[in-house]
Each structure stands twice: as structure tokens, then as C-alpha cells.
């Protein structure tokens, strides 16, 4: 099963455009993305800037970032961009008045889709490549079923919407420990890359962003949703192995399978596997 997708820049044109784009997707699917940057779908002036930010995945947002009166305008702007550029698209949630038109757009363009309020596996199965955004209590409880859908490449966590449903503060991590762990376990069980954590809403608090990334990584997440280009590099750096982790992993791999201890700690097959994963082997 595909681990994720990484899409940046314009797609090629001409007779072989589709096949070239597919080859690019296949080559990059094994590289788990860490930075997912939202850009409002009704701000086409920002689309190119979002791509230039270096985010692994740019998400043109037709949902929360767009007011109801501007949905059709935003969809037209996204459709125009997708004629020459590549990006993922967050559509409006199933059951909303805009879902069908949004679904038609992403299906026709063949682009990855971020489905908000993901709860029903059958809905996700209708798309080719899906990031399932789990942000409701029902979605959390269905995480295993969602992750098992063949078209789902990754789970993502929507902490802000879940906070509203639960009546808790979105910036407090404690109420979401169960939900986050549920996504991590469901992703591993389905053979997906580690899930993507939710947004840090305070754009001015660099320390908070760093702390959120550390916490998410400690729980087993492998990426984060970003709402501003300035968050991209700190998030990428936060999810990268530290020099100490890399050095430890090198020592373990260099020692080989026949050595039982490294730095005084036991080394067995799972430890060796973790070291290789840190090194990207």
C-alpha cells in the first residue's frame, strides 16, 4: 500500500504528460512527506507562493479556509490551477452542499484529495488517492477501518474540529492522547506511513510549534499540517532524526546482527529495524 504522496511544481504537458506524472508519483510514494501546507482555495495569488515554500505537499483548501459564498469561485480557481500545476485538494466534507462538485473536480483532474470529517470508508473508496482527515469522535473510533481503505495513503489528525466536538481546548494535548494514539496504531496496522498531526494555530509562537512537533513525533506521528509557509522548515527539521539518533543508528547498523549490545543496551531484530528506519534504509 502506498505510504504517502509528495507533489510539487507543475505537471508536464504533451502526449506523455499523464504517464510522466504517474512515474513521478510512483517514485515518490515511498518517501513519507512531513510538511503539508494549506493555502486558501479562493486565493490563487498564493498558490505559487505555497509551492515555492518547499512544502512536501501543498493542499489547495476548498473547505475551512473558504466562506460559503465563495465556494464556487474557489473551486473555479483551483480547477484553473490544476490545468497546469499539481497539488492536493481538500474538498468539503461529505454531506455538505459542495461535496459532489468538489469530488467531481478532483476525480476529473486525478489529483490526491484530503477528505475532511472522514468517517465512512465507502466515501473514501470513491477516490484514487486519499489523505483521510480524522477530526470527529466517530472518525477516531473508525480509524482502523479508514486506514484499511485501499485508496487511503495516509491518516491526518484534525485537532481543532475534534476539540469543538469534545468541548476542550485545542491547544491542550492531553485530551487528544487517545485519539492520536489511535491514528498511530491504525496506520501501522494498515501498513501506512505514520499519520500527520494537526495544525498549530498560533503563527507567532515558535516555541509552541517546536513543542507540538516534538510531542507528535514522540507519539509516533510522521508529519504535520501547516497553515503558513513559515511553519514548513521548522516542522521539517523537527521531524528529522537528530544527530544523536543518527549516530546511534549508525553504530547499531555497523555492529550488525551478530552483536547483542550497543552502548550497553540490548540489540535484537526490532532494534536493528528501528536503526535502519532512522537511517532511511
State if pTM tops 0.85: no
Q: Are residues 268 and 200 in the same domain?
A: no
Q: Are residues 150 and 234 in the same domain?
A: yes
Q: Are residues 154 and 205 in the same domain?
A: yes
Per-residue pLDDT of 142-168, as tens digits, reads 999 999 999 999 999 999 999 999 999
Q: Are residues 174 and 280 in the same domain?
A: no
Find out whether 247 is annotated in a ligand binding site: no
Q: Total structural domains in the chain?
A: 2
Per-residue pLDDT of 263-281, as tens digits, reads 767 777 777 777 777 777 6
Q: Are residues 86 and 203 in the same domain?
A: yes
**51 Cβ contact list (under 8 Å, min separation 6):** 8, 9, 58, 85, 87
Grid coordinates 507528535 are at which residue? 216
Domain hosting residue 248, numbered range: 241-281
Residue 8 lies in a domain: no
Cell numbers standing for residue 176: 487528544
Where are any strands of DSSP class E within 87-137? Answer: 88-90, 113-115, 130-134
State the CATH number of the domain containing residue 112: 3.20.20.60
Find out whether 90 is annotated in a ligand binding site: yes
Indicate if the pLDDT at residue 20 is higher than 60. Answer: no
Nearest CA-CA partner of 53 in 230, 254, 270? 230
Find out whether 23 is annotated in a ligand binding site: no
Between 84 and 249, residue with greater pLDDT: 84
Cell numbers standing for residue 246: 543518527
Q: Are residues 149 and 203 in the same domain?
A: yes
Residue 177 lies in a domain: yes
Per-residue pLDDT of 201-257, as tens digits, reads 999 899 999 999 999 999 999 999 999 999 999 999 999 877 776 776 677 777 777
Amino acid at each position: 500500500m502506498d505510504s504517502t504522496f509528495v507533489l510539487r511544481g507543475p505537471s508536464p504537458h504533451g502526449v506523455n504528460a499523464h504517464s510522466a506524472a504517474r512515474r513521478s508519483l510512483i517514485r515518490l510514494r515511498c518517501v513519507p512527506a512531513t510538511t503539508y501546507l494549506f493555502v486558501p482555495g479562493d486565493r490563487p495569488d498564493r498558490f505559487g507562493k505555497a509551492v515555492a515554500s518547499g512544502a512536501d505537499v501543498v493542499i489547495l483548501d476548498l473547505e475551512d479556509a473558504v466562506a460559503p459564498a465563495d465556494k464556487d469561485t474557489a473551486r473555479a480557481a483551483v480547477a484553473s490551477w490544476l490545468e497546469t500545476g499539481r497539488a492536493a485538494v481538500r474538498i468539503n466534507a461529505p454531506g455538505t452542499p459542495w461535496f459532489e462538485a468538489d469530488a467531481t473536480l478532483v476525480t476529473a483532474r486525478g489529483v490526491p484529495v484530503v477528505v475532511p470529517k472522514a468517517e465512512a470508508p465507502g466515501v473514501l473508496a470513491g477516490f484514487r488517492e486519499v489523505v483521510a482527515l480524522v477530526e470527529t469522535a466517530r472518525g477516531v473510533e473508525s480509524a482502523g477501518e479508514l486506514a484499511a481503505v485501499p485508496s487511503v495513503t495516509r491518516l491526518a489528525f484534525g485537532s481543532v474540529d475534534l476539540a469543538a466536538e469534545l468541548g476542550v481546548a485545542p491547544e491542550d494535548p492531553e485530551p487528544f492522547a487517545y485519539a492520536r494514539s489511535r491514528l498511530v496504531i491504525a496506520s501501522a496496522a494498515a501498513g501506512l506511513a505514520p499519520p500527520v498531526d494537526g495544525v498549530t494555530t498560533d503563527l507567532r509562537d515558535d516555541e509552541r510549534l517546536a513543542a507540538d512537533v516534538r510531542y507528535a513525533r514522540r507519539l509516533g506521528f510522521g508529519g504535520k499540517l501547516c497553515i503558513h509557509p513559515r511553519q514548513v522548515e521548522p516542522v521539517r527539521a523537527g521531524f528529522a532524526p537528530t544527530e544523536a539518533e543518527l549516530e546511534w543508528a549508525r553504530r547499531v547498523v555497523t555492529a550488525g546482527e551478530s552483536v547483542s549490545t550497543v552502548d550497553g543496551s540490548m540489540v535484537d531484530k526490532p532494534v536493528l529495524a528501528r536503526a535502519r528506519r532512522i537511517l532511511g534504509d
